[in-house]
Amino acid sequence: MLETIAAHLDTVAALAPQWGLLFVFVFMAVESSFIPFPSEVVMIPAGFLAARGELGLGGPVYAAAAAVVVGVLGSLAGAYINYFLALSLGKPFMERYGKWFFLKPAAFARACEIFNKYGGAATFVCRMLPAIRQLISIPAGIARMPLAPFTVFTALGAGVWTAILAAAGYAIGRSAGDISYLDLCIRGRDAALSHLPLVIVAAVLFVAAYAGVSRLVMRRSEQQ
């Protein structure tokens, strides 16, 4: 899929000065919903175009930051689609008819298993994991996770992931000469994935610290 989509990025890039941020929002919303779509072909080119002053927004750093913010908003929009569909339709419906929405039974079962084991914090960490980041919103909706923490955790996880991809594209845009969009996406993806393990470790430590502080506060509240 990456190769197929990257082949059409020249057309999209030509419209980036006028419609770049709208494209980022729409395609990240699609990527974050149940429709399979690689975020690498959205945020990496966005960072690349920002670095070269072709995103149509002020300076390169400002344009890259705006792309990340819009990418997070798009990710939230797509996550809300999954969340509210799952909340409204329930698990039996998703298990029975999910295949018609590109939801593979094995992937759905795995997402539910992870969410049931780790709770709402999984919506943060899993937003950075390939193949599961789009689906983790579904068990959150099924479990009726409160919307406020769902939004915060999803935005944090999506923010880290979109920033990594945009930064990879930005770095290539500042250092590389002429490059095809396919090579750009592949190089950017490889660079992002090479740093992902450290990011995941940091995310897990953050969640562990959050859980520890929350328990400490609750214990003190009960003792008062």
d(CA 133, CA 79): 9
Sorted by where each begins, the domain ranges of the chain are 2-223
Residue 46 CA to residue 9 CA, distance in Å, equals: 11
Instruction: State whether residue 128 is helix, strand or coil.
Output: helix
The answer to whether 45 and 24 are in contact (CB under 8 A) is no
Compute the Cα dihedral for 141, 147, 149, 154 and give only its sign: positive
The closest of 170, 152, 189 to 39, measured between CA atoms, is: 189
In tens digits, the chain (224 residues) has pLDDT values of 556 665 656 666 666 667 778 889 998 998 888 777 788 888 888 898 888 888 877 788 888 999 999 999 999 999 999 999 999 988 888 888 777 777 788 888 888 888 888 887 888 888 887 778 888 899 999 999 999 989 998 998 889 889 989 998 898 888 876 777 777 778 888 887 777 777 777 767 766 665 665 565 456 555 55
Q: Does residue 94 contact residue 118 with C-beta atoms inside 8 Å? A: no
